Structure 1
Amino acid sequence: MFHSVDAWIGWYVYWVALGVLSSVGLGAGLHTFVLFLGPHIARVTLMAHECTSMAFAVRGSHAFQCLDTAAVAAEPAPFGAIMRKVIAESLCWGAGTAIGELPPYFIARAASAAGKSDAEYRRLQRKATAGGSLSLKDRALLSVYRLLRRFGFAGILVFAAIPNPLFDLAGITCGHFKVPFWTFFGATFIGKSMIKATIQTSVVITAFSKETIAMVLSFLQHVSPWAHDLAERVLRQQAAAFGSSHLPQTSVKSMSLLGSVWNACVTIMLIYFAISTLESFAHSYLAEVRSWGQQQLAKVTRPIKHDRNLPPSQS
C-alpha cells in the first residue's frame, strides 16, 4: 500500500516539477507543456478512441494497455471522460507554473525593500522616459508593466490565464510595487492552473479527437492526396505504438516518422534551453562586473574631484 501511495505522490510531484521548469527563469524556462504534458494528453486521447473506453492506466507497468473488455463499447470516449482522465496532471502542471513565478517576485520585492530597483525594471523605466522610438516588443513590455500596476489582482489574473511570453515581468513588477503575496500568487495560481491549463488541455483533447482527425484527413484528401496518405500512415503508426502490447515484437521495435521528428524537436528545445540559461548567467555576471567597476572608478575619482575643489593655499 505504501508503495502505491509513494508512486501516486511521485507521479503528481513530477508534473508539478515540470510546471516549475516551464516558468522558472526570465523567458528561459523549459517548455514542458509542449515536451511532456501535451504529448501525454494527446496519447491519452488517442488511446481512449483506440480502446473506445477509458479502461486503461496512464502510469505503471501496465500503462496505456487496452483491456480486452474495452473493445465491447461501440461509441468513442466522450470529451468529459478524457478530461477527467488528465485533469489532475494538468492542474498539477499549472500549479507548478505558478510556483515558478515566485522567485522573480521575491527577488524584486527584496530589492525594492532595500531601496534598490531591479535591473529589468530600471531598463523599462529608462525606455519609458526616453521618448524615443520603441520596438513592438518593448511597447508590449511597457504595457504589461503599466496594466499590472494599475489593475492589480484582475490584471495579474488575465495575464496569467492567457498564454503569453510577457508574464515573465509580472513577478518583477508585482514584487517591485510590493503587491501582497497572496494577491499575486492567488491570481497567478487561479489563472495558470485553473484557467490556462484547463484551456490548453481542452484544445489538445479536441485537436486529437477522432472527429477532428477524421475532418483533417478528409480535408487533406481533397487538397493533397500525398499529404493525406502520409498523415494517415503516421497516425496508424502512432496508434500501433500506443497499443504495442498487442503487436508482434518487430512492430514494437520500429520507430515511426513522427517519433523521429518529435525526438529531434525535443533535442533542439533542450539545447535552446541550455544556451538561454548560460546567456542569462553571462548577462547577470557582466552586470555585476560593470557595477563593481563603476564603484571602483567612483572611489578613485572622488578624491581627485575633492582636491580640485580645495582653495589654493595662501603663502
Structure 2
Amino acid sequence: MDAMIETRGLTRRFGERTVVDDVSFDVPDGMLTGFVGGNGAGKTTTMRMIMGLLGISAGEVLWQGRPITAADRRRFGYMPEERGLYPKQKVLDQLVYLGELSGLPAAQARASASESLERFGLADRGGDRVEKLSLGNQQRVQIIAALLNRPQALILDEPFSGLDPAAVDSMVDLLREETARGVPVLFSSHQLDLVERLCDRLVVLRAGEVVAQGSVEELRARGPERLRVVTDRDAGWIRDVPGVHVLDVDGPEALVELADHDLPAADAVRRAILTAGLDRGEVRELATVRTPLSEIYREVTA
C-alpha cells in the first residue's frame, strides 16, 4: 500500500461558521504537495485536523487507505506556523527531548539533532537558549525537530518563513531527500515562486473550499494558452487574426491569448498567425509563454 494521506469531505465548523468546507485531496507518497491560499482560507485549520490537533466536524482523514490513528500521527513530522519551542531551554537539549518524545533513544536523538544543526549552520549554537536565536534560526530548529525521527509523512505549515536563501536551499535539499525515500510532504506557503519551483502537486483553497488541484502544468492547462509573436515589422496586424485576444503589442512583438482551448482549433489559430505574419514579412518567433503560478492563483481564487 502506498504511503498516502487522503482527506475526504473534511469539514470544520466553529459554531455557525464553517471555516473548512468539504475539503478532499490526496498527498501522494514521494511527492511535494503545495497547499496555497490567502490568509483565512483554511490551510492551518486543515493541517491541524490532519494531525489530530483539532476536532473534525465532518469527513475523515485516511492514511494508507484506512482511517488514520493516533499511532500513525505520532510517526508524522509536524511543523506548526506558530513556533512551538521552549524559549528558555538550550537548543540541543530541546531537540533531544523532542526526539525522545517521538520515540527515539536519547543517543540517537542527540546524534540526529547534532547532524542537522551542522547541516543548517547551527553547530555552534546547540548550547544557546532558543530565545537567543534570531527568528530565522528558530525556524531552522523547528524544522530540525520535525525531521528528527525520520517521519513517515511531513505536514509543514509555512516552513520557509523567515529563512534566508541559503537556509531555503538546505530545506529544499532535506525535503527532496524525504520524498526520495517515499515520504508524502504537504506544506503551505505564501511564496508562490518557491511553490512553483518545488511542488509536484498543488492544492488551492479559497474561503475554506478547494478551488483547484493538480500539477502546475495541469492548472496552467485550465487557462488560455498564451503566445509570443516576434516579426521583423510592426505586429499590429495580429489584432485582425480570428480567435486571438491581444494582450500587448510593442512594435514587432505581440503577446496574445488563444480564445479556444480545443487543440485542433488552437492549432488552426497558430497556423493563421504564422500565415498572416509570413504574408507581411518574416516571423522570427512563435512561442508558447508559460503562465506564472501567481497569475494562475489569482485566476482560481478570484
TM-score normalised over the length of structure 1: 0.25
Larger radius of gyration: 1
Q: Which has the higher strand share?
A: 2
TM-score, length-scaled by structure 2: 0.26
